[in-house]
């Protein structure tokens, strides 16, 4: 496994598991989306996976998040394949009109940032619907869900209900939890489009 900051413990948590699947699936030259770029760590992984011939759209509402992502990508020499979008991910279908291999959601608030700017169920579900439509066969949606902040458990339930309603002939859906961690540990909702 490619070494990433914070992943020395193997598939230690939901983010590490999301990245495990992204590495398995995303190839050079492909188009992918980070729906919540935050400090840019997932965007950087995606930019490395698609390489200079691919494209990563990175969405965030906060200029601070986009600036941190820009700096991280520039430092790694990966800025050329990234499109930083200062807009909510609920505008995904309007702003991305190409078939997509993977869409990454990391819900909640920006670590070290404004806790009032948090993902919310209405926008998250709108973006998930659009992501499912844009996804190529074999494509993945990864959603890391956090339940330790106000509104987090409700957002997780909304995402689980959305995922449960996806037609099984078209989508494989998984929810991965860690029974040996506190019940508030983040968990991963994984959606694979099979055709």
Contacts to ligand SAM by CB under 6 A: 36-42, 59-62, 65, 88-90, 106, 108-110, 117-119, 123
Q: With respect to ligand SAM, which residue has the nearer C-beta, 24 or 63? A: 63
CB of 167 to ligand SAM, least distance (A): 26
DSSP character string of 67-136? HHHHHHHHHTT-GGGEEEEES-GGGHHHH--S-EEEEEEE-SB-TTS-TT-B--HHHHHHHHHHHHHHEE
Question: Cβ-count burial of 171 within 10 angstroms (0-12 exposed, 13-18 middle, 19+ buried)?
Answer: middle
Nearest distance from C-beta of residue 105 to ligand SAM, angstroms = 8
Contact 192, 140 (CB under 8 A): yes
Q: Residue 138 CB, nearest distance to ligand SAM (Å)?
A: 23
Cβ-count burial of 70 within 10 angstroms (0-12 exposed, 13-18 middle, 19+ buried)? middle
Q: CB 104 → ligand SAM: shortest distance, Å?
A: 7
CB nearer ligand SAM, residue 40 or residue 156:
40
Q: By C-beta, is 117 or 175 nearer to ligand SAM?
A: 117
Residue 172 Cβ, how far from ligand SAM at the closest point, in Å? Answer: 23
User: Helix, strand, or coil here: 174?
Assistant: strand
Q: Based on CB atoms, which residue is closest to ligand SAM, 115 or 195?
A: 115
When CB distances to ligand SAM are compared, the closest residue is 38
Closer CB to ligand SAM, residue 91 or residue 137?
A: 91
Distance CA 125, CA 107 (A): 12
């Amino acid at each position: 496994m490619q070494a990433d900051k914070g992943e020395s413990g193997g598939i230690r948590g939901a983010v590490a598991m999301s990245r495990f699947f992204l590495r398995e699936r995303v190839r050079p030259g492909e188009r992918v989306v980070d729906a919540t770029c935050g400090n840019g760590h997932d965007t950087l992984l995606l930019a490395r996976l698609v390489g200079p011939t691919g494209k990563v759209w990175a969405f965030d509402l906060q200029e601070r998040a986009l600036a941190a992502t820009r700096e991280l990508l520039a430092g790694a020499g990966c800025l050329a394949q990234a499109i930083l979008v200062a807009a909510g991910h609920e505008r995904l279908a309007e702003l991305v009109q190409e078939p997509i291999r993977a869409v990454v959601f990391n819900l909640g608030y920006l670590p070290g940032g404004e806790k009032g700017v948090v993902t919310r169920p209405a926008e998250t579900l709108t973006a998930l619907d659009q992501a499912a439509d844009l996804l190529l066969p074999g494509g993945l949606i990864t959603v890391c869900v956090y339940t330790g902040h106000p509104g987090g458990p409700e957002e997780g339930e909304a995402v689980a209900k959305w995922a449960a309603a996806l037609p099984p002939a078209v989508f494989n859906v998984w929810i991965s939890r860690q029974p040996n961690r506190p019940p508030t540990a983040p968990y991963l909702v994984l959606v694979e489009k099979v055709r």
